[in-house]
Amino acid sequence: MTVLLALALTLLLSATALLALLRIYRGPSLLDRVVGADLLLSAMLAAVATEAAVSRHATTLPVLVVLSMLGFVGSVSLVRFAVRAES
């Protein structure tokens, strides 16, 4: 049962990452590419958090916090840049 759960989770996160890469590649606008990059970062954070939960260690928690803050600040700054460029 554990092997099936790990396989399903791996396939789910891989499919999410591939769809996010597709959105980054084919996105017609800058904001579509920002959403794709944010989704890709979220999928990577979910994979690292899952690995930390399975192996039961909390040493990756600061890395997760820093990466999530970096993703948030990056998304907000790019959206602010896009709004200024439109006006």
| pLDDT by position in tens, the chain (length 87) | 688 888 898 999 999 999 999 999 998 988 889 899 999 999 999 999 988 888 888 899 999 999 999 999 988 898 888 888 777
Per the CB < 8 A criterion, the answer to whether 72 and 45 are in contact is: no
C-alpha angle with apex 75: 69 to 76, nearest 5 degrees?
A: 90
For 59-83, give one letter per residue: b (16+ CB within 10 A) or e: eeeeebeebeeebeeebeebeeeee
Whether the full predicted model's pTM is greater than 0.75, yes or no, is: yes
At 1 the pLDDT is: 66
